[in-house]
Amino acid sequence: MNFREEPISEQTLLSMRKTLKDHEAMIFSLQTIVEKQQEMIERLAGRDSRVKKPSFLETLDMEKLIKIAIFTATLYNNDESGNQSL
């Protein structure tokens, strides 16, 4: 990877921090939704809810993980004008 050595403005860093926090909240929200859906599926299937549930990453399919990884990569490639590029 080619990393820039140019200084990043404080405003840019604050903007990136806010974006990261917003997306972290979105990921946790998605996690909650996935867990609720998993519980509903288990109830419909008549499974015992005391059985160990799969982890968050086990419930996400690979496509969603790839989208999260691509999005995270775009955050690190933001230029100072706020444009995103891969």
Domain map (residue ranges) of the chain: 15-76
Q: At residue 60, what are phi and psi to the nearest 5 degrees? A: -85, 140
Integer Cα distance of 18 and 58 in angstroms: 28
Confidence tier at 80 by pLDDT (50, 70, 90): very low
- Please count the CA atoms within 13 angstroms of the CA of 20 that sit on its side-chain side: 11
Q: At residue 19, what are phi and psi to the nearest 5 degrees? A: -60, -45
Whether 45 has a pLDDT exceeding 50, the answer reads yes
- Total residues belonging to the chain: 86
Report if pTM > 0.75. no
Mean pLDDT of the chain: 76
Integer Cα distance of 23 and 13 in angstroms: 15
